[in-house]
Amino acid sequence: MATADFSWNAPKQQFILAGGKESGQKLSDEILIDNIRWFTIFRWAVIGALILFQIVALIASDALTKLGIRNQQDWPLVLSVILSAANFAYIYALDFCQPSKFNSPSINIWVQIIVDLLCLSIVVHNVGSTTTPAPFFYILHIALACIFFSALEGLFVAIMVSAMYTIVLLIENQMFFQVSQSILIDPHFSNESLQKGRALVWMIALNTLFFIVWYVVSRLTLVVRKHEQYLRDAYEQINQAQIAKDQYAMLVTHQLKAPLDAIRSKINLIKGGYCGQVSSEIEEVLTKIDRRGHSMSNLILDVLKLERLKTAGRNNDAMEYIDISATIYKCIDKLKPVTTARNIEIKLSIQNFFARGIPDQIEILFENIIANAITYSYDDAAVDINSIVKLPDNSAILTISDHGIGIEAKDLPNIFNEYFYSPRAVMHNQSSSGIGLSLVKIAAVNNNLQLKVTSDPGLGTAFSVIFPNIRISAGES
Amino acid sequence: MRQRIAHVDDDPDIRDTVHHILSTHGYEVDSYQTAKDFIDSLSNPSIVPDLAILDVMVESMDAGLTTYVELHNRFPRMQAIFLTSLGDMILPYFENKSEKWIWIIEKPIEPSGLLSIVHDRLS
């Protein structure tokens, strides 16, 4: 007995570009709302850090002073309260208030920026505006603004940052209109004037840095957005080309199949006795013509299905929880004419479950496996369909077994190849298109399913489909 | 009174076959080459059919489908069947409509199957 497992790890070539509607400059409300939520979560982390800082300040204030950080008061706690209240207000405005002219995601995010910058300025003032790296945290705001907004809006943030830092330095060093007085009292370099000189250097250096960061990050963002736009356009073009290709494939299928359908309809008219009595010899010839026409029709339809399955790829948006038992019954119903004609009994023993997949692809998968089991069975035989649900790991195995001609071990690795014909299979069924199992393979890849094939030549074949992440009922996991 | 059936198909052999089968069993059959011809004919109340058999790809890729939508809106009681080479491949186009209202027969025409569905729809 030969066994083969087939599992396909498709390369992650499917990509979805969010927000096809927004231009390169403006972000959609949807993305702004996502950013608001992200900023809010990030702010909770900052609030946590401030509380931690307050605790450290209470425990080891001397150590902080040695590090150049000013003597602490209760400002971290006050800021935590302000930022927490602001965070609740942002979420309340977003989730519990009707959107209006004054309550839009854009206004929400701008209020966040202004409040955050004010709070950061208080931190910079209290921690040390020229003695600690605290002012460098302004850069984070500029970078985020450049990434999430337009270059112009980023510039506004950079100007705001620059103004706030300048004001902090001016206030701390009493540089408002006091320089000349200071020079009059002490024309030499005093400690105070050294301090002011240092503040001036920091002011010029950091303000220059703020605008350099704005320029560099906004340039980079523009380049990234331009590429993103190219990708979005290319994705759109691919989608349109796929639609056009699909329509063309459908048109070709129709044009190829239509004449065959007309011929076979006429054959059915004669065989139905609508054109008078015909001899048994003629009827036999007509049956043979019809059989060949039927094979060709199937081949044409299978080629179209194969093309469509390849094009569809692994589309998570089209996936839903599918009633496997109902799908199996539907397939059996479709194949009833063949099972009846060959007196093949389908024995079902299924514990139902729901599996995630694309409905028509799962149907194609089962229809082909069951059709194969019937085709390669001997007349008057049985095809068994049973399922095993493994609750601990939420998986299920559905096995379709026949008692037919089986597959030789050397052919087993090739059975999913397109247009593969095994001589033994062709002897049993001359009308095989060689595509059926390729359809099964692509449907399995697209739906993240594994297949296991076990076969014994002369005794039969069992196809097992392994479903991960199943549900026992439609609504619950 | 004989029940009237309209059949739209651009293939003369299919029109001829359907006409032959249905008229043999006592139905009044009006055959149309295009969906437009059929829609135009509906302005005459005396020949509004009880059942319409539509091909999907007639003068355009989806002329049959748009005809079905128009029929469904203008004559909600009129029955419709699709007779198409594409079979149930056209089903995804009807994702918002119940499958029981959309009868699809895949070509080739099999007389007894066609008659059984026509009889079922008209009764």
Contacting B with CB below 8 Å, chain A residues are: 247, 250-251, 253-254, 257-258, 260-269, 272, 274, 293, 301, 304, 360
Least confident of A14-23, A92-101, A385-394, B111-120: A14-23
Q: Identify the closest residue of chain B to A259 by CA–CA distance.
A: B11
Nearest to A250 among B17, B86, B107 (CB): B86
Contact criterion met (CB < 8 Å) for B89 and A250:
yes
Q: Do A269 and B21 count as a contact with CB atoms less than 8 A apart?
A: yes
- pLDDT score recorded for residue A131: 82
How many beta-carbon pairs below 8 A join chains A and B?
Answer: 65
Residues of B in contact with A264 (CB under 8 A): 107-108
What average pLDDT does the segment B53-76 reach? 86
Q: Which residues contact A474 (CB under 8 A, 6 or more apart)?
A: A321, A323, A354
Please tell me the CATH code under which domain A317-477 is placed. Answer: 3.30.565.10
In this structure, of A73-87, A380-394, B84-98, the range with the lowest mean pLDDT score is B84-98
CB B10 within 8 A of CB B55: yes
Tens digits of per-residue pLDDT, A134-166? 899 999 989 988 888 888 989 999 999 999 999
Q: Which residues pair with A400 in a beta bridge?
A: A385, A463
Cα separation of A442 and B35, whole Å? 37
Fold of B4-122: Rossmann fold (3.40.50)
Tell me if chain A has a CB within 8 Å of the CB of B95: no
- Asked if the C-beta of B14 comes within 8 angstroms of chain A's C-beta atoms, the answer is yes
What local confidence, expressed as pLDDT, does residue B94 receive? 67
User: So what's the ipTM on this one?
Assistant: 0.91
Cα(B49)–Cα(B6) distance, rounded to whole angstroms? 6
Letter string b/e over residues B20-38, b meaning 16 or more CB atoms within 10 A of that residue's CB: bbbeeeebebbbbebbeeb
Cα A53-A57-A62 angle, rounded to 5 deg: 140
Q: Per mean pLDDT, which range of A290-299, A389-398, A416-425, B3-12 is the poorest? A: A416-425
Contacts of A201 (CB under 8 A, 6+ apart): none
User: Taking CB atoms and an 8 Å cutoff, what residues of chain B touch A286?
Assistant: none
Question: Are residues A268 and B13, on separate chains, in Cβ contact within 8 Å?
Answer: no
Question: Which SS3 state, helix, strand or coil, does residue B31 take?
Answer: strand
Quick: pLDDT tens for B1-17.
Answer: 789 999 999 999 999 99
Tens of pLDDT, residue by residue over A81-98, are 999 999 999 999 888 888
What confidence tens digit (pLDDT) does each residue in A160-192 have? 999 999 999 888 877 654 544 444 445 555 677
- Asked if B112 reaches chain A (Cβ–Cβ under 8 Å), the answer is yes
Name A297's Cβ contacts closer than 8 Å, sequence gap at least 6: A257, A260, A261, A264
Q: Give the distance from residue B80's alpha carbon to the nearest chain A alpha carbon, in angstroms.
A: 20
State which residue of chain A sits closest to B106, comparing Cα positions: A261
Give B38→chain A minimum CA distance, Å: 21
Amino acid at A272: G
Q: Which residue has the higher pLDDT, A100 or A276?
A: A276
Report yes or no: B89 at the A interface, CB cutoff 8 Å. Answer: yes
Mean model confidence pLDDT for chain A: 84
Q: Which residues of chain B does A296 touch, with a Cβ-Cβ cutoff of 8 Å?
A: none
A156 compared with A246, residue with greater pLDDT: A156
Stronger pLDDT, A427 or B28, i.e. the higher one:
B28
- The answer to whether the CB atoms of B108 and A360 lie below 8 A apart is no
Task: Over range A418-446, report the average pLDDT.
Answer: 83
Q: Which neighbouring-strand residues pair with A385?
A: A348, A400
Residue A356 CA neighbour count, 13 Å, CB half: 16
Nearest chain A Cα distance for residue B44, angstroms? 31
Among the listed ranges A44-53, A172-181, A336-345, which one has the minimum average pLDDT value? A172-181
Per-residue pLDDT band at A130 (split at 50, 70, 90): confident
Angle at A207 between CA A203 and CA A210, to 5 degrees: 145
Q: What residues of chain A lie within 8 A of the CB of B61, using their CB?
A: 247, 250-251
What distance in Å separates the CA atoms of residue A367 and residue A331, rounded to the nearest whole number?
5
Q: Looking at beta carbons, which residues of chain B come within 8 Å of A274?
A: 20-21, 24, 111
Domain boundaries, chain A: 29-239, 317-477
pLDDT the model gives residue B117:
92
Per DSSP, what are the bridge partners of residue A322? Answer: A355
Encode pLDDT of A191-212 as tens digits: 777 777 888 888 999 999 999 9
How far off is chain B from A286, nearest CA to CA, in Å? 14
Residue B73 CA to residue A145 CA, distance in Å, equals: 53
Do A77 and A54 touch, CB atoms closer than 8 A?
Answer: yes
- Mean pLDDT lowest among A170-179, A282-291, A313-322, A382-391: A170-179
**What pLDDT, on a 0 to 100 scale, did the predictor assign at position A47?**
92
Tell me, yes or no, if the pTM score tops 0.80.
no
| Chain A CB within 8 Å of residue B85 CB | yes
Give B85→chain A minimum CA distance, Å: 6
Which residues in chain A have their CB less than 8 angstroms from residue B11's CB? 258, 261-262
The whole-number pLDDT of residue A181 equals 46
**Contact check, Cβ <8 Å, A261/B85:** yes
**pLDDT category of residue A301 using cuts at 50, 70 and 90:** confident
